[in-house]
Each structure stands twice: as C-alpha cells, then as structure tokens.
Amino acid sequence: MRKVLYIAPDVPVPHTGEFLGGSTHVLKVAESLARRGCEVFIISRRMRGQRKYEQISERIATRRIYRGLVLPIGGAGRSGSGEKKKSSKFFEKLYFIFYRMILTFYVSLILCRRDFDLVVERNSAKCIGVLPAKILGVKAVVEVIDTDFSRLQLKLADKILAYTKDIIPKEFHDKVVLTHAGVDAEFKPVNAGEVREKYGLEDKKIVVYVGEMSEWHGADMLLDIAERLKEGVKFLLVGKQLEKLRGDAEERGVADKFVFVGFVKHEEMPEFISAADVGIAPYKPSEEMKKHGFYFSPIKIFEYMACGKAIVASDLEIIRDIISANKCGLLAEPGNAEDFASKIEVLLRDENMCERMGENGRKAVLKYTWDSVADIILNMKSEAKYGN
C-alpha cells in the first residue's frame, strides 16, 4: 500500500463552511487516492471546535494544526492607518516564517518515523513538505492553485501540477503537468422536486449560482443581470455569505428574483443544482489575474456539468477551453451583465439547445473527475502528457 502525506495547512479538512473550494479539493483528491489503494495522511488547518486528530475514513486521517499553533487565528491582520497596516504586515510575515519552520520540523519528524512514498503539497505551504521530502529522498508533488508559491518550492518539487503554465516561471516548465479541478463520478442529477416546492419555484425558470462572495467570483453582478431579465426567472443562490446581497437586491427592487439558500453540505449540492435550468459562473478577473491570466479551474462548472445543466460563464481562457471544447454552454464577456442576461435568455428560450448542452456536459465531465487528478499525482513520469 502506497503512503501519501498531503500537506494542506491552509484549509480545514473536511470544510467547516469556510475555504470551501480548497477544502473540497483536498478531501476529494485524498478520497480518490484512497480508492487507488493509498493510505493518506493530511496535515490540515484546525478551526475552532475541531479535534486535533481525526480518522476520516479507513484510509484517510488528518492531523489538524491551528493557524496560531496553540489557538485559531486568521491569516491576515486588520488595522486602521496605513502605517499600522505596514507594521502589522511585517509582524504577520515574521510570524508565518516561524509558523512554517515549526511545521517543517513537524513534517520532518513524520517522514522520519513513517515510511511515506510520496508528499503532495499545496503551493501556499511553501516548502513545509517538499523541503524535508527532498532531504529524506521522498518524491514530492506541488499543486499550484494560484500565485502564492515560492520559487524554492518549485525548484525542490519533482513534479508541479498547475491549471495553466502562465503563472509558473519558465525555468520550471519542464516539471509542469497540466491538470484541473474535478467532480465526483457519483455527482449526478437527482429529483429536485422538494427543493422547487420548498422555495416556491415550481413554475419558474431557475438560474443557479453556487459559490461565495469573493470579488473575482462575480456574485455581485447577479443583481445587474437580474435587472435585465424578464419576470418569471429566479436566481437560486447556494453558498456562504451570499445573504450580503439581500439588502442591495431589496434597494434595487429585484429581491423577489432571488432565493438565498445559504450554505449547504456538499453531498446535498446535486439536489439544488438539479432544481435549475441553467448554471451561471460570472467570474471577473482580479487585478492579479489581469496580470497573469485567469489561473483557476472552477469546481462549480464541473458540478453544473455533472448535473446536466447548460452553463453561462465568463469568457476566460481556462473556462473557455472547457465550455467550447465540450459544447456545454455559452460564454459571456466578463463583467458585462447585459451579455450574461442575453445568453441566459437564449438558453431559456431554446429548451432543445439547453437540454443538448446539458447532456454534452454530463457526458464530458467524466474527463474531469477527482479520480483523474489522483492518477496524475500518482504517475511520477514527468514526460507523461495530461491536461489540455
């Protein structure tokens, strides 16, 4: 049995209603590795109320560590004046150097005491796993999810998994294997009659949004889109902090077009997506993304596809590759509410197109499972060709 040490100290596993995408990613990859006969030990973030250690399943265990080592703290300081912010950032940076040193020492002890075959490290861990792995002769893979990585980390890695090469320095391109986020093979359409009945949606056209309020997710744009759509269309909002939109929706007179479901457990998600006619992903690139290009592989799009829903999504490189290649939706100009509303209306008017695109997505999503991500991780041949 192969033993994998998964270093993910930035996210809780399983998630606790926070860091949803990252937590889901780590747990689902771990589950896929376990299905392939691996024993997986995860170093994860401990949140208030969580136990220090948990045996998640027969082959998956996690050791949780507080961000503050002995107590839970956030990842960034908050302050008023610019001078105070500068000081706060300095001490925060100093603390996290100490924090990573402690975790690196802890990981070194684990690698010395247990016979691990492979270390997998999220990029934000910045050498906590790959440094001791290199010293002790254990193969190491770095998952680069965003631009928060260190060059030393990439240098020490045997293989780098990334959604795009654009954010990886060229000197490390020979180590890069393109990958993607994923979805469970069991994530399927279900009867959603209870959801429609509970929220009074039986006779409505439904657009579902799954996600959060992060600026680049574009959730705030849903109000602009709603203003441009005809009566009879409802937005089903599933995710954390989306209630923040309610007040603005009431001020703008579109509150009746929204159902704010809030956070739901991941295993319940198919029921809410299945209740919809169309899935929406209105991503707006942040300033950093404008510099490096869009570098995320959105889980929500794969989940819409898995439930057989046609999609309207932002016309951004990684998303475009998925939508266009699989003919499972329409692309709209990022930040352009008029274009999004127009594309939604096209799909809602043409039921045949909507159904056809949904079927295309459902068939194509088998290429984007978490199992395929696990296969990429376990195949340590750098010359192997994966991704797009």
Question: What is the rounded CA–CA span in Å between residue 154 and residue 13?
Answer: 24
Q: Where in the chain is the domain with CATH 3.40.50.2000?
A: 3-182+369-378, 193-368
Rg (CA), the chain: 21
Q: What is the CATH number of domain 193-368?
A: 3.40.50.2000
Instruction: State residue 175 phi and psi, 5-degree precision.
Output: -95, -10
- Percentages helix, strand, coil for the chain (3-state, rounded to 5) are 45, 20, 35
Structure tokens at 138: 């254990």
- Quick one: 340 exposed, middle or buried, by C-beta within 10 A (0-12, 13-18, 19+)? buried
Integer CA distances (angstroms), 230 to 84, 172, 225, 227, 233, in order: 49, 50, 10, 8, 7
Instruction: Write down the pLDDT at residue 386.
Output: 37
Is residue 39 pLDDT above 50, yes or no? yes
Decide if pLDDT at 87 tops 90.
no
- Span 265-293, mean pLDDT? 89
Helices (H), the chain: 20-35, 82-113, 130-136, 151-156, 193-198, 221-227, 244-251, 269-274, 287-292, 299-306, 317-326, 337-349, 351-364, 370-378
| pLDDT, tens only, 205-223 | 999 999 887 778 899 999 9
Q: Which of left, alpha, beta for 65 (phi over 0: left; psi -120 to 50: alpha)? A: beta
Give percent above pLDDT 90 in the chain. Answer: 76
- Cβ atoms of 379 and 36 within 8 Å: the answer is no
Q: Assess contact for 281 and 312: CB atoms under 8 A.
A: yes
The Cα–Cα gap between 130 and 181 comes to 22
Q: Has residue 333 got a pLDDT over 50? A: yes
Separation CA 53–CA 61 (nearest Å): 8
Closest by Cα among 45, 86, 36, 83 to 63? 45
Return the CATH architecture of domain 3-182+369-378.
3-Layer(aba) Sandwich (3.40)
286: confidence class by pLDDT, cuts 50, 70, 90 = confident
Closest CA to 151 of 169, 177, 175: 169
- Provide the pLDDT for residue 338: 97
Q: Confidence class of residue 177 from pLDDT cuts 50, 70 and 90?
A: very high
Contacts of 358 (CB under 8 A, 6+ apart): 308, 309, 310, 328
Q: Is the pLDDT of residue 312 over 50?
A: yes
User: In this model, does residue 239 exceed pLDDT 60?
Assistant: yes
DSSP category for residue 82:
H
**In whole numbers, what is the pLDDT of the chain averaged over residues?**
90
Banded pLDDT at 81 (limits 50, 70, 90): very low
pLDDT confidence band for 118 (50 / 70 / 90): very high
Torsional sign, CA 326, 331, 334, 337 = negative
Per the CB < 8 A criterion, the answer to whether 261 and 272 are in contact is yes
